[in-house]
Amino acid sequence: MTHATGKYAVFESLREQAVQLRREDLSRRQIRDRIQVELGCSKSSISLWVRDLPTPERRSASEQAKLASSKRWEHENALRETERQRCKEAAKAEVGVMTDREIFLAGVTLYWAEGAKDKPYSRREKLHFINRDPNVIRFYLRWLDVLGVERERLRFRVSIHESADTTEAEKFWADLVGIEACTFQKASLKRHNTTTSRKNTAEAYRGCLIVYVLKSADLYRRMEGAWYGIVLGARPTA
């Protein structure tokens, strides 16, 4: 058996390229024009090569316009994404290593935004924090370290939808905070509301982690006082 050589090899290569262009939804006329210009081949040969392939489905004018617009924006979006990531990396590098004072102030702000707070009608002077972001939980635990809170004073509980895998979620959070999952308090299950369209249904959904600090009334008062100190300290100077 002999291998394709010379003109026949070139012919076969051209035929394969024509077939591939057809599969990419180019019309027979587009293929003929392109191959004639780029590859130098007769219209009759091209028609023969692609005649048995199905005719591409014709798109509506609106679909064609959307496709053309999408292709035009592909390059622009790639440039924007590169700039977006560059900006984020530059900002991250600008922070550098934080001092304990900086961690304390950032933690106070975080807690005031996300943690449970005391109310005049319901005294809750204790640190009680809940969040679903692992990085937020890591930072919160670091903040407690700065406050001098021993890990033995912490209690953990998972809050999660009843349809999720509670056991897997508890293992995930236990690994993150460095304790055994069996030490977690009984999970708080959220009942499913059939009228709500939930977005957090992927396998990566781990619910939220609740972190309690025992005997934390003094720490809570320190946190609240520091928050109002931040508010006053941030006022513009005369």
pLDDT given for residue 36 in this prediction: 66
Does the CA dihedral 230-218-151-177 come out positive or negative? negative
pLDDT given for residue 51 in this prediction: 66
Cβ contact 223:108 at 8 Å = yes
**Cα 136 → chain centroid:** 15
Q: How far is CA 181 from CA 96, 164, 200, in A?
A: 33, 17, 22
Q: Which 8-state DSSP code applies to residue 131?
A: E
Q: Can you give the pLDDT of all 238 residues of the chain as single tens digits? A: 444 455 556 667 766 777 777 666 666 667 667 666 665 666 676 666 666 666 656 667 777 677 667 777 787 888 889 999 999 999 999 999 999 999 999 999 999 999 999 988 888 899 999 999 999 999 999 999 999 999 999 999 999 999 899 999 999 999 999 999 999 999 999 886 655 555 556 678 999 999 999 999 999 999 999 999 999 999 987 6
**Can you read off the two tokens belonging to residue 142?**
């670091």
pLDDT given for residue 202 in this prediction: 64
Closest CA to 154 of 110, 96, 213: 213
Strand 208-213 relative to strand 128-131, pairing: antiparallel
Contact residues for 124 (Cβ-Cβ < 8 A; gap 6+): 116, 117, 118
Does the CA dihedral 19-22-26-27 come out positive or negative? positive
Half-sphere exposure of 145 (CA within 13 A, CB side): 10
pLDDT given for residue 2 in this prediction: 45
pLDDT given for residue 11 in this prediction: 63
What does the alpha-carbon distance between residue 151 and residue 30 come to, in Å, rounded to a whole number?
70
Cβ contact 79:49 at 8 Å = no
Cβ contact 137:154 at 8 Å = no
